């Protein structure tokens, strides 16, 4: 799916150690303004992603796999939510990623209202951030809910670096890629313009409210996502199905243990 010669060699990631399986490259993020690239490679245990930048390698953990306690998130936001709708998805140190795309209208609105309150985000700034991620604009938080203009939110335990993630192509809100993003994606997928649309459905577009940076992040959706109807569509939605496929192919899993930092 990804052009390995381009992303690993031409983009300067040839130094990645052989213990990390390049065939499990899941996400690639790109910021057109700076040409900054990050890679996210699934570990063979299926419990975390290697987050790789030119500065080094860190880990992002599947919150469910490490038994992260959602009550810590409730405490951070000062309210309790339905953990099956407001899903603690990924843990990275003192930062968590929360999946909300499939939440009910009431839970979706409640969650966004509480993060705006907790991180002191003015409504004008929130609306502006959401509109950077979607061609179809919103005017308020209710529009955001109706259009599902936000699918995932990054919440730090400390500081105010809240980040919003949208899937504009999946949700029908669209996004203007621009020439630099389009050029990068065509090289990454080794395709021409007329075939690019087929790779965009699960692509994430994200922005930090305080900096206005906008990044695109590809997703090799079929790598970890099951096709069963009840599998959630978040980052780790079909992880069990993926592990079963690896196991049937004779892969032996390495056990990973970790104290939940969040």
What is the tens place of the pLDDT at every residue in 39-51?
999 999 999 999 9
Domain-embedded: residue 208:
yes
Q: Does any domain span residue 261?
A: no
Residue 255 in domain? no
Angle at 237 between CA 27 and CA 131, to 5 degrees: 60
Does 59 reside within a domain? yes
Whether 131 maps to a domain, the answer reads yes
For the chain, what is the mean pLDDT? 89
Cα dihedral sign for 220, 226, 229, 232?
negative
User: Could you tell me the two tokens for 50?
Assistant: 């290697």
Enclosing H/E stretch for 179 = helix 178-189
Rounded Cα gap, residues 212 and 223, in angstroms: 31
pLDDT at 66 (0 to 100): 93
pLDDT at residue 255 in the model: 37
Is 216:181 a contact under the CB 8 Å cutoff?
A: yes
pLDDT along the chain (262 residues), means of 10: 97 97 97 97 96 96 94 95 97 96 98 97 97 98 98 94 96 97 98 95 95 94 65 55 42 41 57
Residue 235 lies in a domain: yes
Cβ contact 26:220 at 8 Å: yes
105-118 vs 123-133: helix axis angle to the nearest 10?
A: 120
Structural domain range at position 134? 4-248
pLDDT value of position 210: 85
Instruction: List the Cα angle 132/35/98 in 5-degree steps.
Output: 50
Whether the CB-CB separation of 27 and 218 falls below 8 Å is answered with yes
Number of folded domains that form the chain: 1
Q: Considering the domain boundaries, does residue 87 fall inside one?
A: yes
- Count how many Cα atoms sit within 13 Å of the Cα of residue 21 in the half-sphere of its side chain: 11
Phi/psi at 101 (nearest 5 deg)?
-55, -40
User: Structure tokens of 233?
Assistant: 């569509």
Asked if residue 185 belongs to a domain, the reply is yes
């Amino acid at each position: 799916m990804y052009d390995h010669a381009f992303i690993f060699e031409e983009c300067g990631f040839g130094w990645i150690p052989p213990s990390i399986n390049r065939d499990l490259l899941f996400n690639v993020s790109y910021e057109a303004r700076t040409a900054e690239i990050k890679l996210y490679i699934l570990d063979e245990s299926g419990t975390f992603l290697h987050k790789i930048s030119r500065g080094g390698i860190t880990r992002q953990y599947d919150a469910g796999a490490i038994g992260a306690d959602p009550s810590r998130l409730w405490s951070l936001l000062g309210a309790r939510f339905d953990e099956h709708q407001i899903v603690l998805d990924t843990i990275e140190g003192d930062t968590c990623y929360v999946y909300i795309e499939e939440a009910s209208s009431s839970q979706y609105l409640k969650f966004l209202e509480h993060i705006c309150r907790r991180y002191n985000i003015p409504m004008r700034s929130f609306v502006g951030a959401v509109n950077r991620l979607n061609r179809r604009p919103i005017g308020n938080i209710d529009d955001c809910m109706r259009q599902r203009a936000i699918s995932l939110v990054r919440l730090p335990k400390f500081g105010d670096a809240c980040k919003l993630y949208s899937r504009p192509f999946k949700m029908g809100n669209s996004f203007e890629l621009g020439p630099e993003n389009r050029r990068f994606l065509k090289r990454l997928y080794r395709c021409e313009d007329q075939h690019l649309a087929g790779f965009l459905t699960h692509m994430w577009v994200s922005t930090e409210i305080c900096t206005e940076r906008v990044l695109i992040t590809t997703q090799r959706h079929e790598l970890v996502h099951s096709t069963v109807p009840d599998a959630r569509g978040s980052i780790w939605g079909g992880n069990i199905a993926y592990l079963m496929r690896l196991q049937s192919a004779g892969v032996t899993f390495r056990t990973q243990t970790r104290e939940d930092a969040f």
